[in-house]
Amino acid sequence: MSTDTAVGPPSREVRQTHRVVIRFAGDSGDGMQLTGDRFTSEAAAFGNDLATLPNFPAEIRAPAGTLPGVSSFQLHFADYDILTPGDRPDVLVAMNPAALKANIKDLPHGGMLIVNTDEFTKRNLAKVGYESNPLEDDSLEPYTTHHVAMATLTRGALEPTGMSKKDAERAKNMFALGLLSWMYHRGTEGTEQFLREKFAKKPELAEANILAFRAGWNYGETTESFAVTYEVAPARLAEGTYRQITGNLALAYGVVAAGQQSKLPVFLGTYPITPASDVLHELSKHKGMGVTTFQAEDEIAGIGAALGASFGGALGVTSTSGPGVALKSETIGLAVALELPLLILDVQRGGPSTGLPTKTEQADLLQAMYGRNGEAPVPIIAPQSPADCFDAALDAVRMALTYRTPVFLLSDGAIANGSEPWAIPDVADLPDLTTTFATEPNAPDGSGEFWPYLRDADTLARPWAIPGTAGLEHRIGGLEKADGRGTISYDPDNHDRMVRLRQAKIEGIEVPDLTVDDPDGDADVLVIGWGSSFGPIGAACRRVRAAGMSVAQAHLRHLNPMPSNLGDVLRSYRRVVVPEMNLGQLSMLLRAKFLVDAHSYTKVAGLPFQAEELAGVLTDAVKGDLPA
Amino acid sequence: MTAVELGQPSFGGGLDLVPTTDETQKAKDYTSDQEVRWCPGCGDYAVLASVRSFLPELGLKRENIVFVSGIGCSSRFPYYLDTYGMHSIHGRAPTIATGLAVTRPDLSVWVVTGDGDALSIGGNHLIHALRRNMNITILLFNNRIYGLTKGQYSPTSEVGKVTKSTPMGSVDAPFNPVSLALGAEATFVGRALDSDRKGLTEVLRQAAAHRGASLVEIFQDCPIFNDGSFDVLRKGDEVAERLIPLVDGEPIRFGNEGEYGVVRSASGGLEVARIADVGEDAVVTHRAGEEDPTQSFALSRLSDQDLTHTVTGIFRKVDRPTYDDGARGQVTAATEQAQQRGDNLQALLSGKDTWAVLPEPENEQ
Ligand SMILES: Cc1ncc(C[n+]2csc(CCOP(=O)(O)OP(=O)(O)O)c2C)c(N)n1
Ligand code: SF4
Ligand SMILES: [Mg+2]
């Protein structure tokens, strides 16, 4: 990829900038996700750090041109390590009036707006309630607005192909991509090659899209409308080889890797649900790596089959979102009683009920923690970013296999669809997850019997004796079992002991100590979060520190069991602030467990926190202005 | 990814991939040390005895047999067999058996379930396991009542049945389990009476040998909450006029003297007639292997579920690719392709579009 060819005419100013946030917004049918994705790949290939936030409606194709049909993709790229997809765009590309109306309020005054004027017809304006054409009145005055007739220009560029007007116009998203690629000095080869591969079976479509892409590029180059182009240098990330990755892809890779590292066949039992389905789609491609995927009749069957596979000695995995977890709860309880390994991937979305299927939220924490009958403890791990899903999956499988237990991994919509650079790990450095099956009778009384619930003294895990092993035939089930022997037991003392043993086993899981980031070393406010809010919280901390104040940040990856130093950490700060995309679930746990007066800051809007807003909260905390 | 040619179908027996043993086994070998705790006189005892004495006949390694059950009196069954077993949760046994069957072709996987377990809470899983033709054998203990929860009506209870939860009689229309299974595309459907060891064993034998999902409905007496519900099929003068045992390839005749036969009705279905009235040639011949399930379906509902005419034996036994063979076939084919291509984890993680960040210049020599 060339980086130095893309310079405008000599008269044109090239401005160096450290970071840019671009938002592509259009109709669901306009291909905004693809456009954003492609620009992301260009930024990644160029070596920028980046973070993305796709935002799309739950309807596959809401009526064209309407507000509910608007789909957008925000991309933040920079020459240094960034933490979030950005609060507000610097550049907004609006493909129609609906996209303009839905997104303009996020564009700061002075921001750049590029509009596809062709869609601003009377009818389309009326559809979204514009009484006058914003391109003609003064409502867009605060912005640097560029009027571009993208559809017309694309049609013109595609004329030689003989394509119908309608088909030609479809490529206008590539026109937009070309224009932006030019403006940010991105090469063209990567996208052209991508389009050739994507439309390998329809070369005429590939050519049409490439023509549109080049037309956009040339439009920037040859017209005088754009006086400035921008350069964002590559980021100085840690040394390594990088690729761009979304959370769901990293999750799927983590599962494949866990199968390889444990030398176990992987069995995914699942039922499609947004935003978790991509994990199924991806894993279904990796049969050649020992992964079997089973699309069941419902979530209950998905997890049941996964548990059955685990009973048989496979690595059982199930993937879902909150409504699916609700259906799986009884089987998770069974897995707790059976003490078999099982990985439960919950990609959280807005709730309750069907809620906001395509939006993000982190409100399943207490469901994962307590959403079962009886005392049924389950370890919980939450990745903090898209790439982190890979490591989190491996760690979850480590816990599942070592402690013979179901394990929850809580991702969310923002992580699942968002992307960032990932330092590709060397497989030789991945953890060894091999485990052993029981092969011999183990009764301590020398009877030669097999006791399926005789525990390992260190881990309290029980032996995993899989069918096909002679001499270890045994029956297990959801009924309470006698400690050790594992036969049905209704004995009150035994039940009390077993409840405590199961709890102790989970509490005894080894998890790393919590580390605190306090560069000034004198902070008396600690902000602690979990999951996908890592980025915005971290970005907020940077802002607060840049303003000369001290704030400490810690992020909980292990939510059950929690790190053993957590209580000490919490107690060593004057004020603890807990931002969450729920109504205070972690803060409730921290208050209950550690008796700390944690301040809960919550927002449940279906979108990630903004760094600006959290910086305000933290500033108030540092100044002692938070309500008690 | 393109579809892979799997070389299907290659129908084998249900147990073809399960290791066998030369050791002679006895019913005692299949008896676990758990004390059996059903009520005295419960039909489950008879089924257990039949299964225990039948299993040695398969000559399989005992450790390669797994019984999975749901919840109910009948679902305690696995505890009493010295094989691998799982007593799971209400209605979900077919799902667990599915995961086992797909990942472990070397196991003989059995599901034990009740009429409530299989047809109420677990109805969805049952029909899908049958439709997919999972290589599992399902024993459905039908006592037409909820036993374990002490006597509520079930999805097979007769309309009008007075139970604890229906003091004025049930207004709920029952399922016919055999009709349901046939409608769910089952490839093997059989029915037997708990006390008929010979008939039950024969159905079990063929069910186990069938590659694919086998559903065996077992009429089972619950003397506590539905006493004598199948007595008309066990004793008294009428038994021979009610019970219609199927023999594959034979005309369907019954009665003390074989004086009745099953014939086509004017409406296109089946009905019972005196052979003296219709002639021998009118009697239909049973063909379990017939692709078209229509005749088997008609047989399953010769009369209402009042047991006026009750057909037993094997209704249907046809070959169709199983889900588990197909799923394994894809994994095997994909694994071979992957090996030929030299796919590996590192290559997967690296993907196609990567970029390198070199060491800080200061650190360079
Ligand atoms: C989720 C759930 N709901 C309800 C029950 C209570 N329950 C246990 S067994 C059963 C019905 C059993 O009837 P059936 O399947 O016919 O078995 P039987 O006892 O008659 O052999 C019910 C309702 C349960 N164990 N779990
Ligand atoms: S309640 Fe009925 S089905 Fe249950 S064990 Fe007793 S007799 Fe058998
Ligand atoms: Mg019953």
Give contacts of A236 with chain B, Cβ < 8 Å: 357, 360
Do the chains contact at A468 and B102, CB–CB below 8 Å? no
In this complex, which of B86, B89, B354 lies closest to A241 when CB atoms are compared?
B354
- Read off the pLDDT band of A3 (50, 70, 90): very low
Among B179, B131, B190, smallest CA distance to B155 is for: B179
Do the chains contact at B96 and A311, CB–CB below 8 Å? yes
For tokens 């009428």, the residue is B238
Mean pLDDT to the nearest integer, A552-581: 98
pLDDT in tens, A6-24: 444 446 889 999 999 999 9
Do the chains contact at A331 and B124, CB–CB below 8 Å? no
For residue B192, give its domain range: 27-244+312-326
How would DSSP label each residue in A295-338? E-SSHHHHHHHHHHHHHTTSEEEEEE-HHHHHHHHHHHHHHHHH
Mean pLDDT of chain A: 95
For residue B249, the model assigns a pLDDT of: 97
What is the interface size between A and B, counted as CB pairs within 8 Å? Answer: 213
Q: Which residue has the higher pLDDT, A64 or A311?
A: A311
C-alpha span between A17 and A6 (Å, rounded): 16
Q: Residue A110, by phi and psi: left (phi above 0), alpha (psi -120 to 50) or beta? A: left
The yes-or-no verdict on residue A144 having pLDDT over 50 is yes
* Interface test with chain B among A287, A318, A447, by most B beta carbons within 10 Å: A287
In this complex, which of A239, A257, A301 lies closest to B345 when CB atoms are compared?
A257
Which tokens in the block code for residue A625? 């202005």
Q: Residue ranges of chain B with pLDDT lower than 70?
A: 1-11, 360-365
Which residues fall within 8 angstroms of residue A335, CB to CB, at 6 or more apart?
A307, A310, A342, A405, A406
B38 lines ligand 2 (CB under 6 A): yes
Do the chains contact at A243 and B124, CB–CB below 8 Å? no
Helix, strand, coil percentages (3-state) for chain B, rounded to 5, are: 35, 20, 45
For residue B363, the model assigns a pLDDT of: 39
ipTM: 0.96
Sign of CA dihedral B117, B122, B128, B134: negative
| A425/B contact by beta carbon, under 8 A | yes
Question: Does B139 map to a domain?
Answer: yes
Mean pLDDT to the nearest integer, A279-299: 98
For residue A477, the model assigns a pLDDT of: 98
| A186/B contact by beta carbon, under 8 A | no
C-alpha span between B249 and B233 (Å, rounded): 24
Which tokens in the block code for residue A465? 């004796």
CA of B219 to the centre of ligand 2 (A): 13
For residue B361, the model assigns a pLDDT of: 57
- No. of H helices and E strands in chain A? 20, 22
- Read off the pLDDT band of A626 (50, 70, 90): confident
C-alpha span between A87 and A105 (Å, rounded): 12
B77 lines ligand 2 (CB under 6 A): no
Query: Which ligand neighbours the alpha carbon of B149 most closely?
Result: 1
Number of the ligand 1 atom closest to the C-alpha atom of B222: 20
C-alpha span between A87 and A546 (Å, rounded): 17
Evaluate whether A470 touches B73 at the Cβ level (below 8 Å). no
For tokens 């306009």, the residue is A30
Q: Specify the length of chain A in residues.
A: 628
Q: Which CATH number fits domain A516-623: 3.30.70.20, 3.40.50.920, 3.90.870.30, 3.40.640.10?
A: 3.40.50.920
C-alpha span between B285 and B295 (Å, rounded): 10
Give contacts of B325 with chain A, Cβ < 8 Å: none
Burial A10-49 (b: 16+ CB within 10 A, else e): eeeeeeeeebbbbbbbbbbbbbbbbbbbbbbbbbbbbbbb
Question: Does B299 map to a domain?
Answer: no
Give contacts of A298 with chain B, Cβ < 8 Å: 124
Tell me where in chain A the CATH 3.40.920.10 domain(s) lie: 13-231
Do the chains contact at B99 and A310, CB–CB below 8 Å? yes
Give contacts of A240 with chain B, Cβ < 8 Å: 356-357
- Read off the pLDDT band of A60 (50, 70, 90): confident
The reply to whether CATH 3.40.50.970 applies to domain A243-429 is: yes
What total of structural domains would you count in chain B?
1
Give contacts of A472 with chain B, Cβ < 8 Å: 63
The yes-or-no verdict on residue A292 having pLDDT over 50 is yes
Question: Does B304 map to a domain?
Answer: no
Could you tell me the CATH number of the domain that includes residue B196? Answer: 3.40.50.970
DSSP label of B119? I
Q: Which CATH number fits domain A13-231: 3.10.310.40, 3.40.50.2300, 3.30.420.40, 3.40.920.10?
A: 3.40.920.10
For residue A248, the model assigns a pLDDT of: 98
For residue B352, the model assigns a pLDDT of: 86
Evaluate whether A393 touches A543 at the Cβ level (below 8 Å). no
B329 lines ligand 2 (CB under 6 A): no
CA of B29 to the centre of ligand 1 (A): 29
| Strand-by-strand arrangement of the B137-142 sheet | A475-477, B84-87, B65-69, B108-114, B137-142, B214-219, B188-193, B310-317, B243-245
Give contacts of A234 with chain B, Cβ < 8 Å: 357
Which tokens in the block code for residue A427? 């497989």
- Read off the pLDDT band of A254 (50, 70, 90): very high
pLDDT in tens, A309-331: 999 999 999 999 999 999 999 99
The pTM of the full predicted model, rounded to 2 decimals, is 0.93
Q: What angle do CA B347, B348, B352 make, to 5 degrees?
A: 75
For residue B305, the model assigns a pLDDT of: 81
| A440/B contact by beta carbon, under 8 A | no
For residue A309, the model assigns a pLDDT of: 98
pLDDT in tens, A197-228: 999 999 999 999 999 999 999 999 998 889 89
The yes-or-no verdict on residue A187 having pLDDT over 90 is no
In this complex, which of B63, B87, B339 lies closest to A479 when CB atoms are compared?
B87
Evaluate whether B265 touches B250 at the Cβ level (below 8 Å). no
Query: Which ligand neighbours the alpha carbon of B71 most closely?
Result: 1
Evaluate whether A381 touches A410 at the Cβ level (below 8 Å). yes
Among B196, B181, B200, smallest CA distance to B94 is for: B181
Do the chains contact at B343 and A294, CB–CB below 8 Å? no
Tell me where in chain A the CATH 3.40.50.970 domain(s) lie: 243-429
CA A5 to chain centre: 35
The residue of chain B nearest to residue A190, with distances taken between CA atoms, is B353
Which residues fall within 8 angstroms of residue A238, CB to CB, at 6 or more apart?
A423, B357
- Beta strands A49-55 and A70-78, pairing class: antiparallel
DSSP label of B152? B
Among A500, A407, A501, A498, smallest CA distance to A460 is for: A501
